[in-house]
Amino acid sequence: MTDPLFNILHEKCIKCYACVRICPVKAIRVDVNTEFPSILPERCIGCGSCYRACSPAAIVYRSSIGEIKQLLSSGAKVAAICDPSISGEFSDITDYRKFVEMIKALGFAYVTEASFGVDLIAEKYRELFEKFYGKYYITANCPAVVSFVEKYYPDLINNLAPLVSPMIASAKAVRKKYGSDIKIAFFGPCIATKDEALRYQDDGKVDIVLTFIELRQLFSEFNIRESMLEFSEFDPPLGFKGSLYPLSNGIIQSAGLSEDLLEGSIITTEGRNNMLDAVKEFDSRIDMIKRHFNIFYNEGCLMGPGTSPGGEKFLRRTLVTDYDNKRLKTFNKPDWEKEIGFAATLDLSRTFLKDDQRLPVPPEENILEVMTMIGRQNEMDNDVGCESCGYSSCREFAIAIAQGLATSDMCHIYSSRNRQEYIKSLRGLNEKLAKTQTALKESEEKARKEKESEKEGSDTLSAMLQKLVSGVVIVDEKLNIVHSNKAFIRILGEDAATIDEVIPGLIGADLKNILPVQFYKMFSYVLTSDEDIENKDVQYGDNVLSVSIFTISKNKYVGGILRDMYTPEVRKEQIIRRLSEVIDENFDMVQKIAFLLGEGAAKTEKMLKTVIESHQSPQKKNP
């Protein structure tokens, strides 16, 4: 499968979309996912406008340099056919005879001119136009024009002149003269001819097409310069007035056809916009125009995309005509006529391929939706637009978006409006960000002060805990030690003191690994039940510990206080507490005895009074 004629190098592309805007058939689509443009080979007509418009040189065309070097080194005889515009391209070469020798120095066996093929085709056009039977034609010399008609005006295929191009006609003549096994390379100003050559496999086959730019690269690579070589003439067959072909009306003059504005039957035009308008009007107005159209996409072959950039059109035009005048002074017309006769039997006819690439027009509601999106709904019924997007009107642009060939960002007005809204939004966002940053700084400062205060409080609390006689320990939900003081470590004994030297404060130690199981169960109970344990005496080795365990954070942190009952301070405290408890208990008992005694005395007194009253005499009872 042949590689595409053009490719876009994403690493060089700056997404300016100049290629999209310049493409006459919108064969370049902007990929929504990557935002990079991509060329659609099936829609491309090979005009090269995108290649010329790409300032970062991100668009490249299919190179034939490696292919020609391989062919020249294969041992096959290779003939070079040079387009007549070569004299305009190589203005730096002072003598065309040196130019011929430079090409031969590359390894070509023969170097011929395509002007002979122009002469052959010109004669065919003269016959076609003079034998007029009411049908008007479009010349088929420019491959970009032919491709444009085949793809976008397929109904006009029957109006394309059924003749091969001068390149193919020259190949047929050279192959007939030098043998069917000869290989042919064509040098010219056009990139589209690379694809045109692929259509032919008969005697009109052109094996390789190179642009003038590629020819210059070959001269540079092999260090071939004019000053190093002698003169050499072009090999036959030589052309006559076909050397004028680089000028758009050159083939008309070669055919001897009239270009009289009043009586002539041919309209010649050139250039991108003129070509588009010419084909469009031929399609819609040919019954009123009543002329044959001689159309070239570029400004004649002089300014083809395969020529060196920066070329000056009128200088090149002058160089072509000067060269033609010079060679015609010594031109051997009889020999030319013999060559024409020799080639008279060549079949120069051709057919065309209907390759309709027109896309269906989207529904009106889809177009309106896009127009509204880009803010151009007021232009819905007006064929207007700035054309900066590459489309003739906003409606055409909206249709292209709906067809998937363009994106809304290609509209400068839409992009500018979005950019302004984005800037406005960004400005507001920056203001909010500035306020947020200020608030964040204040929050950070507050947090820093709180952290310092917290650290200070923590340090103070830690210092206080270290001063306590009682052991203090705090554990987390996994019963791992979070904090402990020296008294706690001292109570645990020498093993804990050894661990403390490696892990200060036993931080992270598992409580069940350093305390007996009864302690572990008490801590676990408080952690899960949220019920505190107060002043519980627990045997720990030879000591008795008074243990209090309490919740600090439910199910998360538990604290414990362990007091050695045998230390003087704790013993004194415990004696006082125990004496207080005994006194309180005795006092409570005394109160209960007193209460009981008081209640019994009252009952006895009441009972005695009743007995006395019952033993008194009746007389005394009722005085």
pLDDT for the residue numbered 606: 59
Tens of pLDDT, residue by residue over 290-335, are 999 999 998 878 899 999 988 889 999 998 888 888 888 888 899 9
Residue 207: phi and psi, rounded to 5, are -70, -40
Q: Residue 533 belongs to what H/E stretch?
A: strand 533-540
Tens of pLDDT, residue by residue over 457-489, are 666 767 777 777 788 888 888 888 888 888 888
pLDDT tops 70 at residue 534: yes
| Cα–Cα distance measured from residue 269 to residue 297, given in angstroms and rounded to the nearest whole number | 9
CATH superfamily, with its number, for domain 468-566: PAS domain (3.30.450.20)
pLDDT for the residue numbered 604: 53
Residue, of 160 and 31, whose pLDDT is higher: 160
Split at pLDDT 50, 70, 90, the class of 205 is very high
pLDDT for the residue numbered 377: 64
pLDDT for the residue numbered 412: 65
Range ranked top by mean pLDDT from 164-168, 454-458, 512-516: 164-168
Tens of pLDDT, residue by residue over 399-455, are 888 887 777 777 766 666 666 665 667 777 777 888 888 888 888 888 888 777 767
Supply 541's token pair. 């080795």
Tens of pLDDT, residue by residue over 46-68, are 999 999 999 999 999 999 999 99
For residue 440, the Cα-to-chain-centroid distance in whole angstroms is 36
Identify the bridge partners of residue 210 per DSSP, sorted by sequence position: 187
Domain 1-62 belongs in CATH node 2.60.450.10: no
Tens of pLDDT, residue by residue over 104-144, are 999 999 999 999 999 999 999 999 998 888 999 999 999 99
Split at pLDDT 50, 70, 90, the class of 152 is very high
Task: Work out the mean pLDDT of the chain and round it to a whole number.
Answer: 84
Tens of pLDDT, residue by residue over 588-613, are 655 655 555 555 555 555 555 665 56
Q: Is 220 in a helix, a strand, or coil? A: helix
Residue, of 414 and 261, whose pLDDT is higher: 261
- Identify the weakest region by mean pLDDT among 26-30, 72-76, 295-299, 538-542: 538-542
Residue ranges covered by each domain of the chain = 1-62, 63-301+311-342, 360-395, 417-467, 468-566
pLDDT for the residue numbered 156: 97
pLDDT for the residue numbered 216: 94
Supply 302's token pair. 């002089």
| Cα–Cα distance measured from residue 353 to residue 198, given in angstroms and rounded to the nearest whole number | 13
Cβ-in-10-Å burial (0-12, 13-18, 19+) of 53 comes to middle
pLDDT tops 50 at residue 86: yes
Residue, of 297 and 389, whose pLDDT is higher: 297
CATH fold match for the domains 1-62 and 468-566: no
Pairing of strands 110-113, 78-82: parallel
pLDDT for the residue numbered 226: 84
pLDDT tops 50 at residue 374: yes
pLDDT tops 80 at residue 275: yes
pLDDT tops 80 at residue 161: yes
- Identify the weakest region by mean pLDDT among 147-151, 332-336, 506-510, 598-602: 598-602
Tens of pLDDT, residue by residue over 18-51, are 898 899 998 998 877 777 889 999 999 999 999 9
pLDDT tops 70 at residue 524: yes
pLDDT for the residue numbered 620: 45
Split at pLDDT 50, 70, 90, the class of 390 is low
| Cα–Cα distance measured from residue 77 to residue 79, given in angstroms and rounded to the nearest whole number | 7
Split at pLDDT 50, 70, 90, the class of 74 is very high
The stretch 163-192 carries a mean pLDDT of 96
Neighbours of 51 (CB within 10 A): 21
| Cα–Cα distance measured from residue 213 to residue 307, given in angstroms and rounded to the nearest whole number | 6
**Owner of token pair 């090999």:** 235
Tens of pLDDT, residue by residue over 93-113, are 777 778 899 999 999 999 999
Q: What percent of the chain has pLDDT over 90?
A: 42
pLDDT tops 80 at residue 569: no
**Owner of token pair 């024009």:** 145
Q: Is 260 in a helix, a strand, or coil? A: coil
| Cα–Cα distance measured from residue 324 to residue 242, given in angstroms and rounded to the nearest whole number | 9
The stretch 558-563 carries a mean pLDDT of 86
- 127 CB-side CA count, 13 A: 10
The answer to whether the CB of 297 falls within 8 A of the CB of 189 is no
pLDDT for the residue numbered 326: 85
pLDDT for the residue numbered 115: 94
pLDDT for the residue numbered 589: 57
The stretch 368-392 carries a mean pLDDT of 67
Tens of pLDDT, residue by residue over 222-245, are 999 888 888 888 999 999 999 899
Straight-line distance from the first to the last Cα atom of the chain, in angstroms, rounded to the nearest whole number: 153
Strands across the sheet with 78-82, in order?
110-113, 78-82, 183-188, 208-211
pLDDT for the residue numbered 45: 97
Neighbours of 406 (CB within 10 A): 27
The Cα-based distances of 70 to 57, 65, 315, 500 in angstroms read: 27, 9, 35, 84
For residue 42, the Cα-to-chain-centroid distance in whole angstroms is 23
